[in-house]
Amino acid sequence: MTNLSELTTLHVGGPAQVIVRAKSEEELIAAVAAADEAGTNLLIIGGGSNLLVGDAGFNGTVIVVETTGNSYEIDACSGGMLQVAAGVNWDEFVAFTIEKNLANLESLSGIPGTVGGAPIQNIGAYGHEVSEVIARVRTYDREAKAIRTFTADQCEFGYRDSIFKRHSDRYVILDVTFHLRRGEFSLPIKYKELADALGVEIDAKVATEDLRKAVLALRERKGMLFGNTHQNWSAGSFFVNPFVSAEVALTLPANAPRWPQADGTIKTSAAWLMENAGVTKGEQINGAKISDNHVLALTNAGDATAEDIVQLARSARARVQEKFGITLIPEVRFVGIEL
Ligand SMILES: Cc1cc2nc3c(=O)[nH]c(=O)nc-3n(C[C@H](O)[C@H](O)[C@H](O)COP(=O)(O)OP(=O)(O)OC[C@H]3O[C@@H](n4cnc5c(N)ncnc54)[C@H](O)[C@@H]3O)c2cc1C
């Protein structure tokens, strides 16, 4: 029996009753429909890079999306439209677009997982989000038992959020269509650390290939790439950055990061709150460890259980709650275990 620890980047999680590897769209829809028909619990997995599965495993069918293939049209004026299967590896796709002289995905280099996983939490990094370039998302709607295509505005994208995340048991993502700009220059750089690494000012544009290299180097240093060392055995950032009211923001120390939002709320930094509430890099509960490189990443130091990871997350969350009165919300999806 396969343990879900073999299918998740945190490398924790007990067994699944049945595991199906869907290599084609037909296989994927057939496996989903069969499980739904039989009334079986269903868990869809892409790269397993945003999942915390409990030690008891999953009581039902796990479908691993391994569909491949893409079709694309590139036009000198309107740019590229690329329709990409959900199972394609995200970072291989980003590298492919840069090779084809297509821009706008370079900041999202090095994020683990699949193309199908990307719209779910509207992946983002270094000042950009995937929703900026998504034209359409094709899904299998388990309720209607039919294919349903969402245009970008129907996806209800928000910060680490989408309609697919909010209805995670309804839509199976089959493929995603991206609209990319033709060009060798990146989007304006919005992130100081990245601008500094490239020796340019904020808002500068550089060659997409150079930006990709700089992002991969920064991510490598923080253990934020897919990899086989224990520093990479994580689910990336464990908590999302909190949005607080202007009144709550006023209660934070003057040096706390504050990013005012259009709706009047203030976004602050989960990493800053953790560090200033006494959560330290390298601290450990059994096999669960705060990354040595990045306080927001909870890692598996080798023999962690899902329960260890949850205990460490609870401890970090409680310290932030006590010091700042802010409850951190996980970015990671929990299956069969609760925070
Ligand atoms: C080291 C590391 C760094 C990371 N850095 C970032 C980052 O910079 N920015 C960021 O936004 N995220 C980051 N992440 C989180 C993660 O990589 C992304 O959220 C990724 O898009 C998840 O894709 P996945 O295929 O692995 O999804 P999984 O983890 O397999 O699944 C996540 C959720 O999506 C659902 N799902 C997956 N595929 C489908 C599908 N085809 N149809 C329907 N539902 C599906 C699952 O059921 C689950 O609910 C990081 C993770 C790691 C491990």
Protein residue whose Cα sits closest to atom 53 of ligand 1: 235
Per-residue pLDDT band at 288 (split at 50, 70, 90): very high
Q: Do the Cβ atoms of 42 and 59 come closer than 8 Å?
A: no
Report d(CA 182, CA 117) in Å as an integer.
25
Q: Tens digit of pLDDT for each residue in 123-132?
A: 999 999 999 9
Q: Which of 8, 10, 50 to mutate to test the pocket of ligand 1 (most atoms within 8 A of CB)?
A: 50
Q: Tens digit of pLDDT for each residue in 169-210?
A: 999 999 999 999 999 999 999 899 999 999 999 999 999 999
Q: Tens digit of pLDDT for each residue in 27-65?
A: 999 999 999 999 999 999 999 999 999 999 999 999 999
Protein residue whose Cα sits closest to atom 3 of ligand 1: 236
Q: Do the Cβ atoms of 101 and 116 come closer than 8 Å?
A: no
Q: What single letter denotes the amino acid at residue 20?
A: V
State yes or no: pLDDT of 77 exceeds 80: no
State yes or no: pLDDT of 226 exceeds 90: no
What pTM was computed for the model? Answer: 0.96
Percent of the chain exceeding pLDDT 70 equals: 100
Q: Tens digit of pLDDT for each residue in 118-171?
A: 999 999 999 999 999 999 999 999 999 999 999 999 999 999 999 999 999 999
Residues 294-308: what's their mean pLDDT?
96
Q: Tens digit of pLDDT for each residue in 212-223?
A: 999 999 999 998
Q: Which of 23, 67, 120 to mutate to test the pocket of ligand 1 (most atoms within 8 A of CB)?
A: 120
State yes or no: pLDDT of 78 exceeds 80: no
Per-residue pLDDT band at 229 (split at 50, 70, 90): confident
State yes or no: pLDDT of 241 exceeds 90: yes
| Closest ligand 1 atom to Cα of 122 | 11
Query: What pLDDT sits at residue 230?
Result: 85
Query: What pLDDT sits at residue 5?
Result: 97
Angle subtended at Cα 157 by Cα 313 and Cα 151, rounded to the nearest 5 degrees: 145
Residue 56's nearest CA partner among 300, 336, 302 is: 336
Q: How far is the CA of 50 from the centre of ligand 1 (A)?
A: 4
State yes or no: pLDDT of 76 exceeds 80: no
Q: How far is the CA of 76 from the centre of ligand 1 (A)?
A: 32
State yes or no: pLDDT of 227 exceeds 90: no
Buried (b) or exposed (e) across 147-161, using 16+ Cβ within 10 A? eeebebeebbbeebb
